[in-house]
Amino acid sequence: MKLVTHLTERRKSAGLTQSQLAEIVGVSRKTINTVENHVFVPSTVLALKLARALECSVHDLFELPQDA
């Protein structure tokens, strides 16, 4: 199942590159890229770290598709 992700928009709104966000949350830039491109579903811990770094809720970043 693919998540609907708003990570790219939130990251860009925060003025961060993938590399900068990756450094903040302690993962590689490639991990951020794969989450943004629907290749990798983040763990709960990573989703919470991303939300904290972007000062929003996990639901602001990810949601289930309507047909799920």
Asked if the structure places residue 67 within a domain, the reply is: no
- CA-based radius of gyration for the chain: 11
Report the interhelical angle of 18-25 vs 29-36 (nearest 10°): 110
Q: For the domain that residue 12 is a member of, what is the CATH number?
A: 1.10.260.40
Quote the number of domains for the chain: 1
Angle at 7 between CA 33 and CA 18, to 5 degrees: 40
The pTM for the full model equals 0.92
From first to last of its 68 residues, what are the pLDDT tens digits of the chain? Answer: 678 999 999 999 999 999 999 999 999 999 999 999 999 999 999 999 999 999 999 999 999 988 86
Pair 11, 21: CB distance under 8 Å: yes
Quick one: pLDDT at residue 59? Answer: 96
Domain contains 62: no
State the pLDDT at residue 6: 97
